[in-house]
Amino acid sequence: MVSYIDYKQAPLKYTGQIRLFDEEAFAGMRKVCNLAACCLDALADMIKPGVTTNEIDRFVLAFGAREGALPADLNYRGYTHTCCTSINHVVCHGIPDDKPLREGDIINVDVTFILGGWHGDSSRMYPVGTIKRAAERLLEVTHESLMRSIEVIKPGVRLGAVGAAIQRYAEGERCSVVRDFCGHGVGQLFHDTPNVLHYGEPDEGPELREGMIFTIEPMINLGKPGVKVLSDGWTAVTRDRSLSAQYEHTVGVTATGCEIFTLSPKNIFFIHSA
């Protein structure tokens, strides 16, 4: 059975308990999550045909450094870059390289900064120039599935309701939900309890309580849900090579609902194709 603990009473390591955070923690999360959101906003002007994902990676590193933030990805389990850049049929954990983006690509950039000891984790999709209608629809469905799942969050609801909302919407739109990766508790640790599944039943999982902080980051495919990890040990791709999309917010449970920490200051979390 899952148990809950006041974060100030818990050691700074994985314990399997769900941490409950206070206003001081929420203030720290607001700051770092806003920085991640500002960085993702700034990338919208940069992402065009011809730009390489290494250029995006260097931009993210410099953006954080200007504000005194470190990238959580760098050296995480041996990862050697600042962010993840997942193009087309890459589901997640795409590694930046020197290949230029091409007109019609869709790319997810996933950024996690650490500031004042707090982790801010968010990702979005960017259309590269003009994209096909099927790709545009996938981005709409993925974004909408995330936002619908956030709407169900309040104390007393079970975490399974979050995944159920994503699955019901995405599958209703003839898309599929990736099972192999999930959202996660986040705060002073990058990946903490609980696992946030993007599918399931509303009466499953731990009960949501005020003060919980976690990510929701559905990966939705146009084809089948199966994925495989390439021999680099990171890059996850769809087995059927169908397009995949992902959006990620970091949220906190409040007394009456939830606060989205990674909202876009420019209101460009979802970008329509050119």
Is 143 marked as a binding-site residue? no
| Beta carbon nearer to ligand MF3, 110 or 167 | 110
Amino acid at 27: A
**Is 93 flagged in the annotation as binding?**
yes
List contacts with ligand MF3 (CB under 6 A): 73, 76-77, 79, 84, 93, 110, 112, 121, 217, 248
Q: What is the DSSP string of 156-225?
A: TSBTHHHHHHHHHHHHHTT-EE--S--EEE-SSSSSEEEEE-SSS-TT-SPBP-TT-EEEE--EEESS-S
248 labeled part of a ligand binding site? yes
144: left (phi over 0), alpha (psi -120 to 50) or beta: alpha
Q: Is 217 annotated as a binding residue?
A: yes
**Shorter beta-carbon distance to ligand MF3: residue 112 or 188:** 112
Stretch that binds Co ion, among 33-41, 91-99, 103-111, 157-165 (CB under 5 A): 103-111
Q: Shortest distance, CB of residue 93 to Co ion, whole angstroms?
A: 9
Q: Output the smallest distance, CB 130 to ligand MF3, in A.
A: 28
Q: Is 121 in the site for Co ion (CB under 5 A)?
A: yes
- Window 185-244: residues binding Co ion (CB under 5 A): 215
Q: What pairing do the DSSP bridges indicate for beta strands 244-246 and 258-260?
A: unpaired
Q: Which residues contact 182 (CB under 8 A, 6 or more apart)?
A: 195, 196, 197, 198, 217
Return the number of the residue (80 or 130) whose C-beta is nearest Co ion.
80
Rounded Cα–Cα distance for residues 60 and 122 (Å): 13
Residue among 151, 146, 168 at smallest CA distance from 218: 146
Closest residue to ligand MF3, based on beta-carbon distance = 73
Which residues contribute to the annotated binding site for substrate? 93, 191
Which residues contribute to the annotated binding site for a divalent metal cation? 110, 121, 184, 217, 248
- Site of interaction with Co ion (CB under 5 A): 110, 121, 123, 215, 248
